[in-house]
Chains A and B, each alone.
Chain A
Amino acid sequence: MSKEYKHQEIEPKWQAYWNENKVYEVREDASKPKYYVLDMFPYPSGAGLHVGHPLGYIATDIYARFKTLKGFNVLHPMGYDAFGLPAEQYAIQTGQHPAITTEKNLQRYREQLNQIGFCYDWSREVRTSDPSYYKWTQWIFIQLFNSWFNPILNKAEPISTLVHLFETEGFKGSDDTILTGGMEFDFPAFTAAQWNNFSEANQQKILLGFRLAYLSEAYVNWCPALGTVLSNDEIKDGVSERGGYPVERKLMNQWSLRITAYADRLLSGLDELNWSESIKESQRNWIGKSQGASVLFEVQDHKFSIEVFTTRPDTLFGVSFLAIAPEHEMLDQLVDASHIDEVMAYVNLAKNRSERDRQSDVKRISGVFTGSYAVHPFTGNEVPIWVADYVLGGYGTGAVMGVPAHDSRDHAFAKYFNLPILQVIEGSERHNYQESSYDGKEGNCINSGFLNGLGVKKAIKRAIQEVEERGIGKGKTNYRLRDAIFGRQRYWGEPIPIYYKEGIPYPVEEKDLPVILPEVDKFLPTENGEPPLGRASNWKYKGLYDYELSTMPGWAGSSWYFLRYMDNKNDDALVSPNAVSYWKQVDLYMGGNEHATGHLLYVRFWTKFLFDLGFIPEVEPAKKLINQGMIQGRSNFVYRIDCFEGDKKELSFFASRGFLDENENIKNLPVLFQEFNKQNNQKARLDFTKIMVVKLNVDVNIVKDEVLNLTLFKQWRDDLNNALFVLENGNYHCSWEVEKMSKSKWNVVTPDDIIAQYGADTLRLYEMFLGPIEQSKPWNTQGIEGVHRFLKKLWKLFYDKEGNFCLNQEAPNKAELKILHKTIKKVAEDIENFSLILL
């Protein structure tokens, strides 16, 4: 039978064969070494996959197949991060249930993924929105609720161990280092006897202060347009990442996870990971460990002190003001009556700026004097107290000491408000302190009483010793990391498995999980501002108790999914000990670096927590992480020349690229009009009042090699049916730019198009051929023919010109063996090094 290379025939055939024969299904097999290759699972959006999405998937697929051929038992699963905002917003607009939208999108994803020929074990698929999956997300939340972080053992323990301590030893308050290990809780001391006499409500309130999932009143980023709170990593440049809506600060009763308890372990664990240095550095910065001291400044004429946190206690003598956050709890008490209006106006303004915005916007200086003074603990001098929004309420103590000579931010503040700049460190070079601060740590203390002459490092120690001796402060470690706000006022998420009895939150019993997401009439908040779940009728636990109405954030389901793939059908445990002791952790994880401080931090947190409770054997989710680059779109543009007579557009036509100069202005107007008239048989004159050039994105699918297909262009949109052109040598040349691949830029290329034309094997080879996996690069198809020809050549080694199978059984000669073995060596080495361009 005569045969040619027809990818259209062979690809679906083998995809069906692999599927029917369950070729990619794997089981635990102690006789083989295991290897776990994981892609970050996608959120199935309505737009489907474009050619950029499979880049990482193809790379891991090549790796997984290679490892299998090398004798490993490879786990390579895929699933969907199926809860999310777009489906909910679509539901709000159309009334279509998000589950239906999600299911539809998911089918489309599956079709597209199947076409590319991935070796996923689909029998292990997970969907975070499936009750059989989120049952275990809820179960983990309950474990968090039922646990506290024992700072002495540096690990999570069941809350019962804490209750036992309270029952036998009581609690000595935040000075109780045995119990708090330096962690701070705002609870007064109590004895064991007192504890035992506390009401249930009081006991539960105290325990909430220790639980790893807890309810508290906290400032949150509230987005009125989306009707929900957002986490810091969901906000970009002061507006919501999704939709770009304004975000304000609001005090709300909120579920949070105590990720800060793990700050130190999340930090130190990074050293062991084979992850890119840039991701590790982002996490280090995000965790933001700093060592220093907290120091108390007494407030003049008041009976209280303000506690500041500083990393530079050596510069205490250089303090010329204190700055407190607009949210500072003492603010109401210390503000002087004559300043109250001004201060309140400022506080209201500051509330509408997000934390990130306040911290990152260093150019905008703002603040207001409270009218009160603190007393310098060493000099006894008066120190004015200001409110400034560059100080964050939740960071450290919500108050800083201003040392303008040695901190650039304080310097800018002091210059702006004309506050004294006191030099207390002498560096090796002369420095103009009116111009700028000297933030360096090289130098000795001057003008600093008992610190004079000491180098910075020694002075820090000495200052801490002094404040500790005087009982006005102590050495302290601070983290920038905040507890993670966990409740969302949305519909399409996991219900938080909590019910309320007399106002006290209790976890739903394990046997009653999952708490199924109830049906609602509308996907909007209720009239009295409750989250959408408030609309569910007769939705009560045991028919009696109100459920918590907020749902979990988008990152909940993705914080442990790598474990579920190991044992996705288990109804009795999130993963069986048997499965998890075999697959252990991900060996190779691939995904975008945009998840550096979101998903990749949360998944490490949950992994450590589950390890602490003894459910899993590893403390980190993934040994090696590779961040694939992005495939950018290559947009094409056309230039519309609009000619106006007054306000009225009289004439409009499209001019080929060559009629415009480098700055995209018309090169030569008379020449352009001459050509226009000639080519279109018109008699347009040049006497318009205004001529404008409008640059428009054009669908890249109707442009080939920068030349526009005029027929398709005219059909592209109704308003273009009668479009007029000025061509160059009979062609309309477009310009191009590299931009993000997106629908709105008309530069989306789908894998479907490429597969229809060249086949999946060509697509796979070609995506790798575009360049190193970690690099971002624009999509272009210039080399794709060459890759496709390569496969045809391969075919011809097996089939002769007439299409007859032409292999023979002759023994190979040395030259042939040399070529083969050179290739074996090269390909194996390249794949191991993730250099996936097939040469």
Chain B
Amino acid sequence: MICVNELGELNCHKQAILKELLIILSPYAPHIAEELWQAIGETSSITKAKFPEFNAAYLIEDSFSYPVSINGKHRTNIEFALDLDQKEIEKVVLADETILKWLEGKQPKKIVFVKGKIINLVI
């Protein structure tokens, strides 16, 4: 049910997604599932379909909201793609308004970066 709500919010009407969803739902609500299945243009019963294979790869996040700290004190969060290079990330961090405010014009001596975990500026 959560899934139907979420797809509704995304205004998703994509056959590729909804077709699989019908199969998942069909054990519970076989009539509506069969109706919508054949409305898509399927010609054999939904009962003859295959339960979709779960692919864990789709659950892996491709970005991360890094907590950014100055001298260990959490100041803000900034989202970065997980495959973004450290230099690119440092550029954005050092240009961030909140960070600039806390740096009070000082240059960090060191920037600690742990991929997918944290960013810490030492001043």
Contacts and interface: CB of A to CB of B under 8 A. Distances in A.
A336 interface: no
Given A69-B51, A805-B39, A807-B15, A793 B5 contact: yes
A303 interface: no
Contacts of A823: 2-3, 21, 24
B62 A810 contact: no
Nearest to B23: A69
A820 B13 CA distance: 13
For the residues of B in contact with A, the DSSP-based class is helix
Contact of B32 (A61, A794, A807, A839): A794
Interface string B1-44: 11111111010111111101101111111111011100110000
B106 to A, nearest CB: 39
Interface in A811-825: 811-812, 814-825
A798 B12 contact: no
Contacts of A812: 12, 14, 16-17
Interface residues of B, number: 47
A433 interface: no
A764 B16 contact: no
Interface string A777-795: 0000000000000110111
A473 B21 CA distance: 71
Residue picked from B23, B35, B47, most chain A C-beta under 10 Å:
B35
Nearest to A809: B15
Interface in A30-82: 61-63, 65-66, 68-71
Given A793-B5, A797-B4, A820 B17 contact: yes
Given A65-B30, A765-B28, A807-B15, A838 B1 contact: yes
A820 B3 contact: yes
Given A21-B45, A815-B10, A14 B1 contact: no
A198 interface: no
B58 A820 contact: yes
B50 A71 contact: yes
A660 interface: no
Interface string A735-766: 00000000000000000000000011110110
B15 A822 contact: no
Nearest to B61: A818
A117 interface: yes
A515 to B, nearest CB: 41
Nearest to A789: B1
Nearest to A786: B1
B27 A824 contact: no
Contact of B2 (A15, A805, A814, A839): A839
B60 to A, nearest CB: 9
Nearest to A118: B30
Contacts of B55: 821
Contact of B30 (A761, A814, A822): A761
Given A117-B31, A790-B4, A795 B59 contact: no
B35 A10 contact: yes
A809 to B, nearest CB: 6
A331 interface: no
A530 B64 CA distance: 85
Contact of B27 (A7, A65, A793, A808): A65
A61 B31 CA distance: 13
B54 A821 contact: yes
Interface in A1-15: 5, 7, 10-11, 13-15
A17 interface: yes
A419 interface: no
Contacts of B39: 798, 805
Nearest to A837: B1
B12 A824 contact: no
B56 to A, nearest CB: 8
Nearest to B6: A819
A684 interface: no
B30 A14 contact: yes
A7 B58 contact: no
B12 A816 contact: yes
A119 B47 contact: yes
Contact of A761 (B10, B13, B28): B28
B1 A839 contact: yes
Contacts of B4: 790, 793-794, 797
A814 B28 contact: no
A384 to B, nearest CB: 68
Contacts of B25: 794, 838
B16 A806 contact: no
A69 B50 contact: yes
Contacts of B21: 797, 820, 823
Contacts of A797: 4, 7-8, 12-13, 18, 21
B52 interface: yes
Given A793-B8, A824-B51, 9 more contacts: A119-B47, A790-B4, A807-B14, A810-B16, A811-B16, A816-B17, A821-B55, A824-B53, A825-B59
Question: Closest 5 A-B residue pairs measured CB to CB?
Answer: A761-B29, A65-B27, A69-B51, A821-B58, A823-B3
12 contacts: A21-B45, A65-B26, A69-B50, A69-B51, A119-B30, A761-B32, A765-B29, A797-B12, A797-B21, A819-B3, A819-B7, A822-B59
